[in-house]
């Protein structure tokens, strides 16, 4: 799986063949197909390994957030429940890391149907849970609006994970894009503001 993850993060899904993966893993193509059935199966396994713990943590934090009675505090906790595990997995290299964040960004941008299916399998359940929780918190906000704004959150999150040094450059060193605690606060506050506007 490591060889596939490394190659996919560098060259994308289309740019990597099963032979490339087998060569990098120092194994036979047949061994890869035995364990994963296909290139899509390998990608799904990579996503499950990296995102399973993150998605479980999101669900746990979301359940806790929904018990908060104050609407403003609940909304902030809901957004934090979705963002924190992604930033934590990147910083701790548990359930992700920088290479997997790059892979996710590359896969999302590639537009391949097989990749879209993998992403849907891994993330749609937690994404719907986030959208539903926000909808219960802000019932006057139409679901399509919530979907759009959550989509913008995802873009900001990905960009923060794959190029944190841009923050350093644009702020001329006054902000540290690698400070995941600050990134968390900025993403949560920006998203809450966007949802409330």
- Taking alpha carbons only, the member of 122, 106, 130 closest to residue 53 is 122
Neighbours of 49 (CB within 10 A): 15
Would residue 9 count as lying in a domain? no
Lowest-pLDDT range, 43-47, 51-55, 76-80, 193-197? Answer: 51-55
pLDDT in tens, 25-62: 999 999 999 999 999 999 999 999 988 888 999 999 99
Would residue 184 count as lying in a domain? yes
Would residue 121 count as lying in a domain? yes
Would residue 118 count as lying in a domain? yes
Domain that holds residue 165: 51-196
Nearest-Å Rg of the Cα atoms of the chain is 18
Rounded to two decimals, the pTM is 0.85
pLDDT in tens, 100-159: 777 887 888 887 899 999 999 999 999 999 999 999 999 999 999 999 999 999 989 888
Would residue 134 count as lying in a domain? yes
> Percent of the chain at pLDDT above 90?
70
The total domain count for the chain is: 1
Query: Residue 78 maps to which CATH number?
Result: 1.10.357.10
Would residue 96 count as lying in a domain? yes
């Amino acid at each position: 799986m490591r060889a596939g993850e490394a190659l996919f993060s560098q060259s994308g899904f289309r740019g990597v063949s099963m032979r490339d993966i087998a060569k990098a893993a120092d194994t036979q193509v047949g061994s890869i197909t035995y364990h994963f059935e296909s290139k899509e199966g390998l990608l799904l396994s990579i996503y499950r390994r990296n995102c399973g713990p993150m998605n479980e943590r999101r669900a746990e934090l979301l359940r806790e957030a929904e018990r908060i009675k104050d609407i403003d505090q609940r909304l902030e906790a809901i957004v934090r429940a979705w963002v924190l595990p992604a930033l934590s997995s990147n910083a701790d290299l548990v359930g992700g890391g920088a290479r997997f964040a790059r892979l996710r960004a590359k896969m999302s941008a590639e537009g391949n149907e097989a990749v879209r299916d993998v992403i849907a399998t891994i993330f749609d359940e937690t994404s719907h849970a986030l959208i539903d929780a926000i909808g219960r918190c802000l019932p006057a906000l139409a679901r399509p609006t919530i979907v759009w704004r959550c989509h913008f959150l995802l873009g900001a999150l990905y960009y923060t994970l794959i190029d944190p040094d841009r923050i350093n450059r644009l702020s001329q060193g006054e902000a540290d894009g690698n400070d995941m605690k600050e990134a968390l606060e900025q993403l949560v506050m920006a998203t809450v503001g966007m949802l409330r506007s």
